[in-house]
Structure 1
Amino acid sequence: MTDILSPSGHAPGRARARQGARCTSIEVERLTCAIGAELRGVNIADAVRDDDLFAEIKSLLLEHRVLFLRDQDLSRAEHVAFASRFGALEDHPVAGSDPDHPGLVRIYKELDSAPEHYENALHTDGTWRVNPSMGAVLHCVESPPVGGDTIWVDMVAAYDRLPAHVKAQIAGLRARHSIEASFGAVMPEEKRIALHEQYPDAEHPVVRTHPETGEKILFVNAFTTHFTNFHTPANVRFGQDYAPGASHLLSYLISQAAVPEYQVRWRWTPGSVAIWDNRSTQHYAVQDYWPGVRKMERAGIVGDKPF
């Protein structure tokens, strides 16, 4: 028996309206105890013009952190228009955008392309920016017969379940996030340095606050290189505490995203869509399908400065 829940947790039935939103016929099926829900009975293209429907989808997104839909007949123009309802769209300095639809990144892995290993790391999009992405809408154009799943992680749960002494230790810590040390690592030195000059390392709190829900979020990932304010008398007795002590702590925090209890895994089919809150999640594109073909299109949404 499937677990069909309304946004307020009622089962079975249709989604109940949030305050200020109409009652819709959206079916909401939770996929794990922590994160993720599949929506049925809705076409997100309709939310481009329907304010109440968009408000309901956004409310569900804040609750479940990532939403999944299948069989969406979505044009690129509708894709961009829907994502733009959350905010302005952003370009990617390495992946680029569709020339006819700014902000839409085509992530195509085709037969003649060698495996690339930049997506298959647990990460939060764009934390190397001063204002990391608010979220994204990802549309599957073509999927391999098997494989190519994507995993999302609830970083609110990852923070909530940290030991109390770790929460106390990281409460005021800040960390650097780098595009140079990630996307730039495979570039020739001149291009890597130019990328760093265009996007200097960003500094963010290790624990950020969600601007809409007030939740605390563990905010370190594969783009995070080091703490910037760890070397204090409270933390460092000897050099051994600073290095590798700080590195051990950062590695421990980053590893929390690998806990299965915080994860949901989605199997793609053509026409399926994922909408995620980038502020409270990480994700990992499983690259187990080469030489299979996987074609995805993503609209990333400009976010705010973490606090």
Structure 2
Amino acid sequence: MTATAVPQNTSSQTAPVAPAIVRPSVRQHSIKVEICTPAIGAELSNISLADAAQDPEAIAEIRALWLKHKVLFFRDQNITPMEQQNFAAQFAGLEAHPLAPSHPEADKLLMLYRNLEPGKPQGFVEKASRENTWHADVTYKKAPPRGAVLRCELGPETGGDTIWSNMVMAYEKLPEAIKQRIDGLYAKHSAEHAFGAQMPIADRHAMAAKNPAAEHPVVLTHPETGEKVLFVNSTFTTHFSNFYNFEDIRYGQDFMPEAHHLLNYLAFQAAIPEYQVRLKWRTNTVAMWDNLQVQHYAVADYGNEPRKMLRATLTGAPLV
């Protein structure tokens, strides 16, 4: 960018005015937006995430697009772990995963590694694979993560796609009778339910004590958009906590499968293709999603091929 010359006063009684210093903007070009599907997702280009972290206007624009499209994709982001962490930190505080190791160079990045060479550091998925199930991240916490920024360091030649599903649309498309039935319902979310079966019983009990189950509304109101979101998933959600009026229930005599069937029906909504977008990863592809508005599913179809992913997790708040 060239500075505009400031006209000089040629009067002998006035000192010359120094030219104004114009600093170039970090962002020289506008962000290009390509809509992925009618339901969800947009690919952003003409932007460096390392540079965007230094540009408040770029961050504001990305945030607005994130809220609107719910998941954003960025290709060819050759950034360091610390640059990824710094970009993510512009949107919220960051938190380490409660059950998994952090990256040695960026302590808020979760390592999601598979099939690395013997002796290499192993990440969370290597120890407890829960990738190919529909879920929002860490909903067993009282304050689930606000979102995530995931970057591919190394991916398989084919396979290993990730799918996201729009849970705002999932709620909007429910029959009115179902909306009325779930209005005011709460559900329990449990880490033990998701990971406990893979653990020795002592470790399972210790994990449950450290990560007690959380209760969330089945339909939450998004804190920024005000939209209603269907917030149950098949990985962490175990049961409704207020489905029955227990004062009217005869212990051992009035069990009905209605609640279980309803929960399964609601969790299944994430699997409807019309609500989804699917990403084929490449090295240095970044995905950023709103953990309150979407669920995701990592397709585990790449056999023994290595995969290295780094995820920054945005800190959330208790849900209402």
State the TM-score, normalizing by the size of structure 2: 0.85
Which one of the candidate residues 252, 275, 279 is aligned to 2:288? 275
- Residue 4 of structure 1 is matched in structure 2 by none
- Residue 218 of structure 2 is matched in structure 1 by 206
Letter in 2 for 1:248: H
* CA–CA separation in structure 2 for the residues paired with 1:44 and 1:115: 30
For residues 144-173 of structure 1, the C-alpha deviation after alignment (integer angstroms, 9 at most, x for no partner) is: 110000000000000000000000000010
Question: Map of 1:1-307 to 2, 5 A cutoff?
Answer: 25-111=30-116, 117-221=129-233, 222-232=235-245, 242-307=255-320
* CA–CA separation in structure 2 for the residues paired with 1:74 and 1:41: 15
Letter in 2 for 1:209: T
Q: Which moved more, 1:228-237 or 1:196-205?
A: 228-237
CA RMSD of aligned residues (A): 2.2
State the TM-score, normalizing by the size of structure 1: 0.88
Contact 1:175 1:206 in 2 (8 A): yes
- Unmatched runs of 5 consecutive residues or more in structure 1: 1-21
* CA–CA separation in structure 2 for the residues paired with 1:56 and 1:273: 17
Contact 2:152 2:281 in 1 (8 A): yes
Contact 2:128 2:195 in 1 (8 A): no
Q: Which moved more, 1:88-97 or 1:130-139?
A: 88-97
- Unmatched runs of 5 consecutive residues or more in structure 2: 1-26, 119-125
Contact 1:231 1:242 in 2 (8 A): no
* CA–CA separation in structure 1 for the residues paired with 2:248 and 2:66: 38
* CA–CA separation in structure 2 for the residues paired with 1:23 and 1:241: 67
Letter in 2 for 1:256: Q
For residues 263-291 of structure 1, the C-alpha deviation after alignment (integer angstroms, 9 at most, x for no partner) is: 10000000100000001000001000011
Letter in 1 for 2:312: A
Deviation at 1:116, TM superposition (A): 5.9
Shift of the 49–232 alpha-carbon distance from structure 1 to 2, 3 Å rule, reads same
Letter in 2 for 1:127: T
* CA–CA separation in structure 1 for the residues paired with 2:57 and 2:299: 35
Shift of the 102–60 alpha-carbon distance from structure 1 to 2, 3 Å rule, reads same
For residues 52-96 of structure 1, the C-alpha deviation after alignment (integer angstroms, 9 at most, x for no partner) is: 001000010000000001100111111111111111111112222
Contact 1:235 1:241 in 2 (8 A): no
* CA–CA separation in structure 2 for the residues paired with 1:115 and 1:49: 36
* CA–CA separation in structure 1 for the residues paired with 2:147 and 2:238: 22
Q: Which of these two proteins has the greater Rg computed from alpha carbons?
A: 2
Q: Which moved more, 1:242-251 or 1:151-160?
A: 242-251
Deviation at 1:135, TM superposition (A): 0.2
Deviation at 1:103, TM superposition (A): 1.2
* CA–CA separation in structure 2 for the residues paired with 1:268 and 1:188: 34
* CA–CA separation in structure 1 for the residues paired with 2:63 and 2:106: 23
For residues 22-67 of structure 1, the C-alpha deviation after alignment (integer angstroms, 9 at most, x for no partner) is: 9961111111110000011111111211000010000100000000
Shift of the 115–293 alpha-carbon distance from structure 1 to 2, 3 Å rule, reads farther
* CA–CA separation in structure 2 for the residues paired with 1:274 and 1:249: 32
Percent identity at matched positions? Answer: 51
Shift of the 173–71 alpha-carbon distance from structure 1 to 2, 3 Å rule, reads same
Contact 1:94 1:183 in 2 (8 A): no
Letter in 1 for 2:56: D
* CA–CA separation in structure 1 for the residues paired with 2:95 and 2:45: 28
* CA–CA separation in structure 2 for the residues paired with 1:99 and 1:197: 27
Shift of the 134–190 alpha-carbon distance from structure 1 to 2, 3 Å rule, reads same
Shift of the 165–108 alpha-carbon distance from structure 1 to 2, 3 Å rule, reads same
